[in-house]
Amino acid sequence: MTHEDGTVFLIDDDAGVRDSLSLLLSLKDISTQPFASADSFLETYTPGRCGCVLTDLRMPGMTGLELQTAMRERHIELPVVVFTAHGDVATARAALKNGAFDFLEKPVDEAMLLDVLHNALRLDRERRSTATQRSMSDQRRERLTEREREILKFLTVGHSNREIAAQLGISPRTVEVHKARIMEKLECRSLAELIRVNLG
């Protein structure tokens, strides 16, 4: 795990907890940014920064559950790991129902904490990678003409060149030419890849 893999945004009103967890994570080469409140995290966070949030549930001002709601409203999609000294099943259920990645009770088991954070950071990296690929596919699809998009729809559901030609009142050879252009624009080497890109 390297610092480039994302930052753990650590939110806890207890300075002792912030200091000890920041030290622990830095010793494990995990980049950490501590905050004394959920509000200060929201004010400071720059959209696009990768990582995960490790937040206390019960804090003065905004609680961990309220933070989850605020993050959703602001489209901050970081995985959220909540931890509390007041662990009870109802609170845990509420946090998980609200979209938390995981729920831990204080005092946190070090090995479990590290395992959960590694998984949360990995989830964020995978989500961003998928979003980037989707964005690139969307950009490539925008290069298609209206007719090429029409033919792509037929190809995606498994129609042959001849069937597409009959549907559109054009020759199979014209369909073949359009298909070649579509594959070139979408940077696909096979029909299977073309279908996968389009369905993605």
End-to-end CA distance of the chain: 29
pLDDT, position 200: 59
36-61 mean pLDDT: 93
Residue 27 has pLDDT above 60, yes or no: yes
For the entire predicted model, the pTM comes to: 0.67
More confident residue, 188 or 120: 120
Range of the domain at 111: 3-137
3-state SS, residue 75: coil
51-70 mean pLDDT: 92
| CATH at 191 | 1.10.10.10
pLDDT > 70 in the chain, percent: 95
53-70 mean pLDDT: 92
Using alpha carbons, list the distances in angstroms from residue 107 to 56, 83, 113: 12, 9, 10
Specify whether 150 is located in the same domain as 97.
no
Render pLDDT for 75-87 as a digit per residue (tens, 0 to 9).
999 999 998 876 6
Torsion-angle region of 101 (φ positive above 0: left; ψ -120 to 50: alpha; else: beta)? alpha
pLDDT, position 198: 73
| CATH at 94 | 3.40.50.2300
Residue type, 196: R
β partners of residue 56? 83
d(CA 13, CA 60): 7
Instruction: Locate 49 and state its tokens.
Output: 């920064």
* 50 close to 120: Cβ distance less than 8 angstroms: no
138-157 mean pLDDT: 87
Specify whether 162 is located in the same domain as 131.
no
Point out the domain boundary residue: 96, 117, 137.
Answer: 137
3-state SS, residue 125: helix
3-state SS, residue 184: helix
Point out the domain boundary residue: 96, 121, 137.
Answer: 137
| Total number of domains constituting the chain | 2
Angle 139-73-43 (CA atoms, 0-180°, nearest 5)? Answer: 100
64-71 mean pLDDT: 93
Specify whether 133 is located in the same domain as 152.
no
Specify whether 110 is located in the same domain as 156.
no
Specify whether 149 is located in the same domain as 107.
no
d(CA 9, CA 36): 11
Residue 4 has pLDDT above 60, yes or no: no
Specify whether 110 is located in the same domain as 189.
no
Specify whether 25 is located in the same domain as 118.
yes
Angle 28-102-131 (CA atoms, 0-180°, nearest 5)? Answer: 85
